[in-house]
Amino acid sequence: MKFENKSLEFLKKYLNTASPTGYEHNGQKIWMDYLKPYVDKIEVDHYGTCYGIINPEAEFKVVIEAHADEISWYVNYITDDGLIYVIRNGGSDQMIAPSKVVHLHGEKGVVKGVFGWPAIHTRGINSDEPVPKLDNIFIDCGASTKKEIEELGIFVGTMITYPDEFFELNNKYFVSRALDNRVGGFMIAEVARLLKKNKKQLPFGLYITNSVQEEVGLYGANMIADTIKPNIAIVTDVTHDTSTPMIEKKKEGDLKCGDGPVIYFAPSVHHNIRQLIVETAKTNKIPFQRAAASRATGTDTDAFAHSNGGVPSALISLPLRYMHTTVEMVSQKDVASVIQLIYETLLKIEPTMNLKYH
């Protein structure tokens, strides 16, 4: 799969920039710089959600949305001998923490640390050896006292991220931490670029929206849905590839990287928008997969659908392996297909389209 160099450079820079939940600004700045030439206007709300607008004067408003934040940790407790205990900021996984390098975003800049773990020799190998838990994982910054930690600019509330960066695997996959959901921001920005490049005129206002704070409860989308008050929202996020070991397909569904975008069936997903997406995929021969979600999708789709008295919303997901680890993987082919599917769907939306079920 070939992406334009400029697009790939943006994706790489965007992924390699730490953008933890609540502190998304550095990533958002890169995203806005890339998007700017393709939109008429850019706005930022008070908590950092950004959106570029095409046709800002139009009355009918369509949102395409992704989330900008990545999971991380907070410094929660510093021991007298200078070790750090953490709490989650989003669904950070304690199982992968031991022996990871971390970046602590302190008041004097980034400080390195490591998640320590007792050696195999000292903990023994038996059935009751410790497993990583939130109350036994700890960070060592090489300091011997709490005072020394504070002198490094690290205090309770300091944000902690992983430094792992983007690379390509076997020319088929993108690998990085935070592909969830920085790749979504990439895909919606690419849709805006294609609209501009192909000189497409849309009969509505398009709001390309990169929301903050998804990982802790869809908060950014909740806020921005009320601000924009869209008529339609199409959300993109990642979902689990279930073809790797130890995942139960009966429970998680049958989804695979490389088999195409995932179209979701859920109460918050509006039938007419979903049907338009399915038909668009078929007409344009874009491969797609189906997934079902009971109650909630767990994505920003729910936030848009449940706002403003009900906003017709749909969800196009990108299959991803190893979610919330530092080696998240997505198929390059699927990334291109999601971009194409959102783009072609937008070209079919008319402000007069029927948004009632009957």
Residues that bind Zn ion (CB under 5 A): 180
Q: Is 324 known as a binding-site position?
A: yes
- Asked about 214 being catalytic, the answer comes back as yes
Instruction: Report in angstroms how near the CB of residue 217 gets to Zn ion at its nearest.
Output: 12
Q: Is 252 known as a binding-site position?
A: no
Instruction: Report in angstroms how near the CB of residue 74 gets to Zn ion at its nearest.
Output: 17
Bridging pattern class, strands 109-116 and 138-140 = antiparallel
Find the residue with minimal CB distance to Zn ion: 180
Instruction: Report in angstroms how near the CB of residue 224 gets to Zn ion at its nearest.
Output: 18
H-type alpha helices, 78-165: 120-123, 146-151
Of the residues 70, 214, 328, 344, which is catalytic?
Answer: 214
Q: Residue type for 256, please? A: K
51 bridge partner residues: 43, 209
Phi, psi of 326 (to 5 degrees): -90, 5
Closer residue to Zn ion, CB minimum distance, 72 or 345: 72
**Would you say 263 and 290 are in contact if contact means Cβ atoms under 8 Å apart?**
yes
Paired tokens of 96 = 């992968």
Closer residue to Zn ion, CB minimum distance, 180 or 334: 180
Separation CA 68–CA 24 (nearest Å): 7
Paired tokens of 27 = 């990533």
Instruction: Report in angstroms how near the CB of residue 18 gets to Zn ion at its nearest.
Output: 15
Query: Sign of the CA dihedral 73, 74, 76, 82?
Result: positive
Other CB atoms within a 10 A radius of the CB of residue 124 amount to 9
Q: Is 237 known as a binding-site position?
A: yes
Closer residue to Zn ion, CB minimum distance, 153 or 253: 253
Closer residue to Zn ion, CB minimum distance, 74 or 204: 74
- Per-residue buried b or exposed e for 36-63, using 16+ beta carbons within 10 Å of the residue's own CB: eebbeeebebeebbbbbbbbeeeebbbb
Starting at the earlier edge strand, list the strands of the sheet with 313-320: 41-44, 50-54, 205-211, 61-67, 232-240, 313-320, 262-265, 289-292
Q: Is 57 known as a binding-site position?
A: no
The DSSP code sequence of 172-187 is: TEEEETTHHHHHHHHH
Instruction: Report in angstroms how near the CB of residue 318 gets to Zn ion at its nearest.
Output: 12
Counting Cβ atoms within 10 Å, is residue 94 exposed (0-12), middle (13-18) or buried (19+)?
A: middle
- Name the 3-class secondary structure at 128: coil
Instruction: Report in angstroms how near the CB of residue 324 gets to Zn ion at its nearest.
Output: 6
Separation CA 198–CA 192 (nearest Å): 10
- Per-residue buried b or exposed e for 321-338, using 16+ beta carbons within 10 Å of the residue's own CB: bbbbbbebbbbbbbbbbb
Instruction: Report in angstroms how near the CB of residue 76 gets to Zn ion at its nearest.
Output: 21
Closer residue to Zn ion, CB minimum distance, 91 or 203: 91
Closer residue to Zn ion, CB minimum distance, 180 or 300: 180
Closer residue to Zn ion, CB minimum distance, 91 or 267: 91
Q: Is 215 known as a binding-site position?
A: yes
Per the annotation, binding residues are 67, 180, 215, 237, 324
- Give the residue ranges of the annotated binding site for Zn(2+): 67, 180, 215, 237, 324
> Which sequence positions are flagged as catalytic?
214
